[in-house]
Amino acid sequence: SLKEIRRKIPLNILSLCNIGMTVLICSGTPGTGKTTLCKALNKKLHFKYFNISTLVKKYHLTEGYDKRLQTFLVDEKKLNKLLLSLIKHYPHVLIDGHLSHYLPSQAVDLCLICTTSIPVLKERLKKRRYSLQKIQENVDAENLSVCLVEAQEQKHTILVVDTSKKV
């Protein structure tokens, strides 16, 4: 529940924010608990919160649909341009979405990477009614730590948050 996760927010995240961190991003494989963590974190931080899925829909930042993956293809350049303008406009920003780690590291103070156990991930994705193929795709991404590796390649300052326990 949200109450439980609020109590479990790692103190190091809150401590970092108290020493001047102003731009936080939260990434991870779909179903790892990004939005739940961000909402709980923002109850304490009161940052301007942006969900990438919402922004992509609102500003039409797609460049097609992949039938095999059953997902819209996001124009990452347009998304990054929008996110960078939002970061400049607001003094404290929390960005939630598995594409957030594509932002340049110079624009971000801390990149949270959510991770979870494979059984928990499978259960969460089944509840979302993902197809077996889409579940497997996300399980593979989680097994390979794709979001973490990509965030490391972008040279972000990273904090990994395991959400396996009751998010």
Q: What is the band of 5 on the pLDDT scale with cuts at 50, 70, 90?
A: very low
* pLDDT attached to residue 152: 96
Average pLDDT over residues 107-124: 96
**Which two three-digit tokens encode residue 133?**
């193929």
C-alpha distance from residue 145 to each of 27, 108, 116 (Å): 11, 20, 10
Instruction: Give 59's contacts (C-beta < 8 A, 6+ positions apart).
Output: 78, 82
pLDDT confidence tier of residue 93, bands split at 50, 70 and 90: very high
